[in-house]
Chain A
Amino acid sequence: MWKFSVRRTLIMIPQLIVLSILIFVLAQLMPGDALSGQVGPDVDPKRLDEIREQMGWNDPWYEQYASWMGGVLQGDLGQSFRFKIPVTELIGQRIYNSFWLSVATLILTYLIAIPLGITSGRFNDTWRDQLITGYTYVGFATPLFIFALVMLWIFGFALGWFPTSGSVSPGLVPGTFEYFMSKLYHLLLPAISMALITTYSTIQYLRNEIVDTKQKDFILTARAKGASETRVYNRHILRNSLLPIAAFFGFEITGLIGGSIFIENIFGYPGMGQLLVESITLRDYTTLIATTLIFGVASILGALLSDITLSIVDPRIRIK
Chain B
Amino acid sequence: MADKLLEIKDLTTSFRIKDDYHAAVDNLSLTVNKNEVLAIVGESGCGKSALAFSIMGLHTRAKIEGDILFKDKNIAKMSSSELNKVRGKDIGMIFQDPLTSLNPLMQIEEQIGETLLLHNKDMSKTARQERVLDLLKKVGIPRAEYVMNQFPHELSGGMRQRVIIAMAIANKPELLIADEPTTALDVTIQSQILDLINKLKDEMDSGIVLITHDLGVVAEMADRVAVMYAGQIVEVADVKTLFAKPLHPYTRSLLNSVPNSDKEQDKLHVIQGIVPSLQNLPREGCRFSARIPWVDESAHEKHPELREVDPGHLVRCTCYKHFSFPDETKEEQHVLS
Interfacial residues, chain A to chain B (CB-CB below 8 A): 216-218, 220-229, 231, 235-236, 239-240, 243, 313-316
Contacts of B103 in A (CB 8 A): 218, 221-222, 236, 239-240
* 8 Å CB interface, B70-100 against A: 80-81, 83-89, 92-93, 95-97, 100
Question: Interface 1/0s, chain B 95-130, versus A by CB < 8 A?
Answer: 111001111110000000011001100000000000
Q: Within the complex, what minimum Cβ distance (angstroms) separates B160 from chain A?
A: 11
7 additional A-B pairs beyond A223-B58, A227-B88, A239-B103, beta carbons within 8 Å, are A218-B100, A224-B92, A225-B114, A225-B115, A226-B88, A226-B115, A243-B105
Given contacts A220-B95, A315-B153, A316-B151, contact A225 B101 (CB under 8 A): no
Provide the bound-state CA to CA distance between A236 and B153, in Å.
Answer: 16
Given contacts A217-B95, A228-B81, A229-B80, contact A223 B101 (CB under 8 A): no
* Contact call A225/B100, Cβ cutoff below 8 A: no
A–B pairs, 7, beta carbons within 8 Å: A217-B96, A218-B102, A220-B101, A226-B87, A235-B114, A240-B103, A243-B105
Q: Within the complex, what minimum Cβ distance (angstroms) separates A149 from chain B?
A: 43
Contacts of B151 in A (CB 8 A): 315-316
Contacts of B86 in A (CB 8 A): 226
* Contact call A226/B105, Cβ cutoff below 8 A: no
Provide the bound-state CA to CA distance between A227 and B100, in Å.
Answer: 18
Given contacts A226-B115, A227-B118, contact A217 B84 (CB under 8 A): no
Nearest-neighbor residue (CB-CB) of B88 within chain A: A226
Q: Within the complex, what minimum Cβ distance (angstroms) separates A144 from chain B?
A: 35
Q: Within the complex, what minimum Cβ distance (angstroms) separates A223 from chain B?
A: 6
Nearest first, the 6 A-B pairs at minimum CB distance are: A226-B88, A225-B88, A217-B100, A224-B93, A226-B84, A226-B87
* 8 Å CB interface, B32-67 against A: 56, 58
Set A216, A228, A315: member contacting B84, Cβ < 8 A: A228
User: B164 within 8 Å of A by Cβ?
Assistant: yes
* Contact call B164/A221, Cβ cutoff below 8 A: yes
User: B141 within 8 Å of A by Cβ?
Assistant: no
Provide the bound-state CA to CA distance between A221 and B108, in Å.
Answer: 13
